[in-house]
Amino acid sequence: MDSQKVNITELTRKISEKGQVVAKTPSRLNYHFMPQIGWMNDPNGFIKYKGEYHLFYQFYPHGTSWGPMHWGHAKSKDLLHWEYLPVALAPSEAYDCDPNIEGYGCFSGSATTQNDDLVLMYTGDVDSKEIPQTQNIAISSDGINFDKVDLNPVIPNFPKEATKDFRDPKLFKVDDTWYSVIGTHNETLGELALYRSKDLLKWDYLGILAQSNGKQGTMWECPNIILSDKNDFLIVSPMEGTVNQKPIYISGKANLKEPSFKQSGQGILDYGNDFYAPQTMDVDGRHILIAWMSQWFSKMPTADDGWSGAMTIPREVTIKNGRLYQTPIKELETIRVDQLREIKNQEVTHLEQDISEASELKFNLQIPENYAGTIELEIADCEDTTQNCKLTVDLKKSEIILDCSNYSVEQREICKAPYEGTGDTIDFDIFLDTNSIEAFINNGETTITNRIYPEAKLKTMKLVCDNQKPFVVNAFSAWKLD
Ligand code: FRU
């Protein structure tokens, strides 16, 4: 343990030294969480501890591509302004470190508190047939320095029903008992294994809690569970073979005693190309979700500036009509620094507005009676409007389309989502940052998240309906965000 601490002190010094240079590069985001330097993927251990939010993340500090996994660490009072802390976990033990192979390390996991301690549960990966992916515990009494316990691996073997993919433990507590759901699969179906513990060190295997219905992927990564009186929800990041899919939620009823999950529905959490491995935190009566704002194998031009990977804005997850909705957390209102425009109950034919590269556009439109056309929001560099991205709601086809192909650095799928609104108004909340767009439609009924790479800074937006007739803007606000 001590040797790991010494390395971490030196590593922290190097990261902050390089981080000062990276912080000045033009590709940095304004209000999204990013690594100081290097590579970041999944959010891990998202928790409130001693009055502050802690966010850990899959981190490789020695390069801008994935490498032996560490857990990066930051804390915040408002979920928006983060203070970087020393690396919490680095590969150091036989169960999470093997320098003779390429892929190993401290893989994804989650956090809980026990008395005054902050406790992490994570997957140790040494990519070997002899040692499977194992589950491990690390404990901190100061919320900064973590000790891997001597009893590791606390779950040394994968369950008999599963195979060697066995990772990403998500801890949750019911009364005085901890549970952990762990992503795995049988021959062809994604599954979640359920474990129980009274002390976080000795774990009993209870059985397979849930399984894919045959159309939900062949392996489930990064599970989450939301328990509620009526419906329970699982959130998983499915893989189909070796291809990562869009994360889904599955509604149903969980039985933790005799593990089973009776499915009643499912939905795609976010229809964008850059949303993966979401992790939820249950805190002060809210479910807050944050996700990796990227996807495996996508091109990341920010690597030229010394960093790769970012998190989405934190979102509040609510349950309505038996399904999940995601809305930007209310704390985001505190970073609105400049109101660029405000409109109320006005009839317009189209709407144009200069915006900042970090902006929020929030508006509600009256859908003209019997309207079967499109509503289109175009975001562009003002010098060259052929450089743009377009969010279109096609009311005839009941479809939402986010086309960022002009702003992409590679050929990517044009994002399409069903338009599920039934009312006579339509609501948008759009968050733009240096190289990202997150669209929330109809109060979080549908979300679409993409990275975009405009050549110039984003500067204009234009809103048009294609029927050439005036339409009523019930409310429109644009803010610069900081
Ligand atoms: C998901 C994932 C996890 C794994 C981690 C490794 O993005 O593949 O299943 O623990 O990333 O970095």
User: What distance, in Å, lies between the first and last C-alpha atoms of the chain?
Assistant: 40
Neighbouring C-alpha atoms within 13 Å toward the C-beta of 448: 25
Here the CATH number for the domain that contains residue 401 is 2.60.120.560
- Give yes or no: residues 265 and 374 share one domain: no
- Give yes or no: residues 68 and 201 share one domain: yes
pLDDT tens, residue by residue, 29-41: 999 999 999 999 9
- Give yes or no: residues 199 and 335 share one domain: no
Name which residue sits closest to atom 8 of ligand 1, judged by CA.
Answer: 221
Q: Measured between alpha carbons, how far is 314 from 440 in angstroms, rounded to an integer?
A: 13
- Of 281, 304, 328, the one marking the end of a domain is 328
- Of 312, 328, 344, the one marking the end of a domain is 328
- Give yes or no: residues 297 and 338 share one domain: no
- Give yes or no: residues 137 and 280 share one domain: yes
Q: Which ipTM value was assigned to this complex?
A: 0.99
Give me the pLDDT at residue 11, please.
96
Residue among 40, 106, 107 whose CB has most ligand 1 atoms within 8 A, to mutate = 107
**CB atoms < 10 A from the CB of 262, how many?**
11
Q: Measured between alpha carbons, how far is 194 from 210 in angstroms, rounded to an integer?
A: 9
Ligand 1 centre to CA of 460 (Å) is: 37
Ligand 1 centre to CA of 321 (Å) is: 31
Q: Locate 314 and state its tokens.
A: 């934190």
- Of 311, 328, 345, the one marking the end of a domain is 328
Strands of the 336-348 sheet, one edge to the other: 336-348, 471-481, 359-366, 425-433, 436-441, 446-451
Q: What angle do CA 438, 480, 458 make, to 5 degrees?
A: 65
Give me the pLDDT at residue 5, please.
47
Tell me, yes or no, if 204 is annotated catalytic: no
Q: Which domain holds residue 367?
A: 331-481
Ligand 1 centre to CA of 221 (Å) is: 7
pLDDT tens, residue by residue, 269-301: 999 999 999 999 999 999 999 999 999 999 999
Here the CATH number for the domain that contains residue 102 is 2.115.10.20
Ligand 1 centre to CA of 422 (Å) is: 38
Q: What angle do CA 469, 474, 478 make, to 5 degrees?
A: 100
Atom of ligand 1 nearest to the CA of 222: 9
- Give yes or no: residues 289 and 337 share one domain: no
- Give yes or no: residues 40 and 24 share one domain: yes
Ligand 1 centre to CA of 59 (Å) is: 11
pLDDT tens, residue by residue, 174-233: 999 999 999 999 989 999 999 999 999 999 999 999 999 999 999 999 999 999 988 999
Q: Are 193 and 209 in contact (CB under 8 A)?
A: yes
| Ligand 1 environment, Cβ below 6 A | 41-42, 58, 69, 107-108, 123, 167-168, 221-222, 276-277
Mean pLDDT per 10-residue run, the chain (482 residues)? 64 97 97 98 98 98 97 98 97 92 93 98 86 92 97 93 90 97 95 98 98 97 96 97 97 98 98 98 98 96 98 98 96 96 91 94 92 91 80 95 89 94 95 97 97 87 80 95 94
- Give yes or no: residues 15 and 93 share one domain: yes
Residue among 39, 40, 41 whose CB has most ligand 1 atoms within 8 A, to mutate = 41
- Give yes or no: residues 234 and 93 share one domain: yes
Residue among 108, 279, 297 whose CB has most ligand 1 atoms within 8 A, to mutate = 108
- Give yes or no: residues 202 and 246 share one domain: yes
From 2, 42, 117, 403, active-site residue: 42
Atom of ligand 1 nearest to the CA of 221: 9
Q: Measured between alpha carbons, how far is 482 from 478 in angstroms, rounded to an integer?
A: 13
Atom of ligand 1 nearest to the CA of 123: 10
Total count of domains within the chain: 2
- Give yes or no: residues 278 and 342 share one domain: no
Give me the pLDDT at residue 129, please.
64
- Give yes or no: residues 144 and 21 share one domain: yes
